[in-house]
Amino acid sequence: MIKVELLKEGDESEYSEFLKDCGYGMAQHTLEWRNVVREILKDESFYFIARKIARL
């Protein structure tokens, strides 16, 4: 089963590490890009994180 949720502040490090290791991430996927959009364009971006969870 896969659980998808909005990226929370506590997940940012894990998200960035995944993106760095995946090999096909783009600048628009980075949290640095999110910050540029926030600061310059005054717009909010939504990032999601998906995790495989063990079945009970």
What's the pLDDT score for residue 48?
95
Question: 30 pLDDT exceeds 70?
Answer: yes
Q: Helix, strand or coil for residue 2?
A: strand
Q: Which secondary structure element, helix H or strand E, spans residue 35, and what is its range?
A: helix 31-41
CB-CB contact of 3 with 54 (8 Å): no
Question: 55 pLDDT exceeds 90?
Answer: no
